[in-house]
Amino acid sequence: MTAPVLDASALIALLRGEPGADIVAAALDGALLGGVNLAEVVSHYAKLGANRSDIETMLRPLPIVVVPADAALAYAAGMLRPLTLAGGLSLGDRYCLALAKREGTRALTAERRWPSIAAAANVEIEVIR
């Protein structure tokens, strides 16, 4: 199976050793992370007081592929808004879903509300906890 797309919540769970970290670790090699979701992870640690150098040092060794946002992905994420509105998904959540759909793979997340939208978004979701 193609490597999954990681939601920021899944990567943060791995980095913090939270429940579900083992599932993310098993899928990590070659996993995709959207640039918007990378920004979410960076902002999480910046909010906690980490500086850029420390965050880069923490993330650099991970065997993941960061996928830049492009116009096609932006449109795909934007078009998910009506489908995800009731579930309260953020822009970053929609980028993750759009990337997983584009790549034809599953999205790993710690967000329990995602499965209710998976069918409408036509994306396979794996909730890690």
pLDDT of 90 above 70 = yes
pLDDT of 9 above 70 = yes
Bigger pLDDT: 119 vs 62: 62
Beta-bridge partners for 108: 6, 126
pLDDT of 91 above 70 = yes
pLDDT of 16 above 80 = yes
Any idea of the CA torsion for 116, 15, 95, 68, to the nearest 10 degrees? -160
Mean per-residue pLDDT, 59-79: 97
Residue 1 pLDDT class (50, 70, 90 cuts): low
pTM of the model: 0.95
- Of all residues in the chain, the percent with pLDDT exceeding 70 is 99
Residues 128, 23 contacting (CB under 8 angstroms): yes
The Cα–Cα gap between 48 and 66 comes to 23
Tell which CATH classification among 2.30.130.60, 3.40.50.1010, 3.30.565.10, 3.40.50.970 matches the domain 5-127. Answer: 3.40.50.1010
In this prediction, residue 104 carries a pLDDT of: 97
